[in-house]
Amino acid sequence: MLTIDVDVIRLTLHILAATIWVGGQIVLVALMGTLRRAAPQAIAPAARAYAWVAWPAFALLVLTGFWNLQVSGRMSPGGMDGGYGTTLIVKMVLVVLSGLGAALHTFAKKPALKGFWGTVGLVGALGATLFGVSLSFPG
Ligand code: HEM
């Protein structure tokens, strides 16, 4: 059997946090129609309950993300060659958009603004996932 070492744990934590942050948002969107019809008063408490796992997951993504970079030696001179640095910058912009969109979605009062920031947050999260996977195939 292959070993489960600290590198496997590090990447598992990064991916697990991404599944909570990204997957949780997708599940919430999928449930929204039913909740609106069957239990509109449950939407706000459900979103708050999800936030208790989502934000720790986001913090874990950032921590394990920098840990990934440090262990991969990408932080050392020349480590960002071959388009890796550009891909990482694009990913960081998407990570910031994802966090900012989710935060502004929480505080927005008008439904249109709530929808807009929620979409920015989710698109950022999906994009960060795509560019995250591409970092794993630097060629
Ligand atoms: C919304 C936030 C984030 C999401 C959704 C996300 C998602 C992912 C995913 C899906 C992978 C692919 C893992 C694999 O299959 O090998 C990945 C890899 C990676 N991520 Fe993230 N990530 C996020 C934040 C960050 C941050 C903040 C950093 C750095 C500061 C980072 C650095 C990395 C690195 C370096 C890899 C490559 C790991 C390797 O090749 O072993 N990520 N990310």
User: pTM of the prediction?
Assistant: 0.94
Residue nearest to atom 25 of ligand 1 (CA): 65
Residue nearest to atom 18 of ligand 1 (CA): 132
| Ligand 1 near 64 CB (within 6 A) | no
| Ligand 1 near 32 CB (within 6 A) | no
Confidence (pLDDT) at 13: 98
**Ligand 1, from 8, 20, 136, 137: best to mutate by most atoms within 8 Å of Cβ?**
136
Q: What is the pLDDT of residues 35-94, one digit of tens each?
A: 999 999 999 999 999 999 999 999 999 999 999 999 999 999 988 988 999 999 999 999
With a cut of 80, say whether residue 139 has pLDDT above it: no
End-to-end CA distance of the chain: 27
**Confidence band, pLDDT 50/70/90 cuts, at residue 138:** confident
Report yes or no: 104 and 50 within 8 Å, Cβ to Cβ: no
Q: What is the pLDDT of residues 5-28, one digit of tens each?
A: 999 999 999 999 999 999 999 999
DSSP SS3 for 93: helix
For tokens 């929480």, the residue is 106
